[in-house]
Amino acid sequence: MKVDFAVVCDYALVDQFGKLSVLGVFQHIWVAEFPTVHPRLHLVIRLKGTRTEIGKHDIKISLLDDEDQEIINGEGKVNLPEPPAGVLEVETGAVLAFDVPFRKPGQYRFVIQVDNESQTVVPINVSKGRQPPPPAQGAN
């Protein structure tokens, strides 16, 4: 089983038929100050496999900083369902939501493993940004 794609976004869900809906894909986060917590970051993963890979598979996710220090981690199982007759390739989606602490600016990355095999890396760059400009005032 392989990761078909993985992205970080503002919001995502998997419907009752397994269809993924993904909103606000990004790779850069601007924050006002450090340390900070980015609320409700969604990591979306779509896995593909063959009929021979139907069943439960181990998945492990780690968020590492640019010094390879682990910020958060999680592990669990993902189920690759049996497809209808005649379908050879099977897919399933996973959506994980995190409140992510960032203690400093830099490059971060989600490392995704399936069945103890490294599959993919999803990068995130976190920077200190300027305050947004004040709202425009109406003409007098």
Q: Would you say how long the chain is, in residues?
A: 140
Which amino acid, 46? R
pTM: 0.85
DSSP-assigned beta bridge partners for residue 118:
113
Q: Could you state, in order of their start, the residue ranges of all structural domains in the chain?
A: 2-128
2-128: CATH topology is Immunoglobulin-like (2.60.40)
Each residue's pLDDT expressed in tens, for the chain with a length of 140 residues = 899 999 999 999 988 887 899 999 999 999 999 999 999 899 999 999 988 898 999 999 999 999 999 999 999 998 888 888 888 888 888 888 989 999 999 999 999 999 999 999 999 999 998 665 667 676 55
> C-alpha distances in angstroms, 54 versus 6, 51, 80, 119?
20, 6, 5, 18
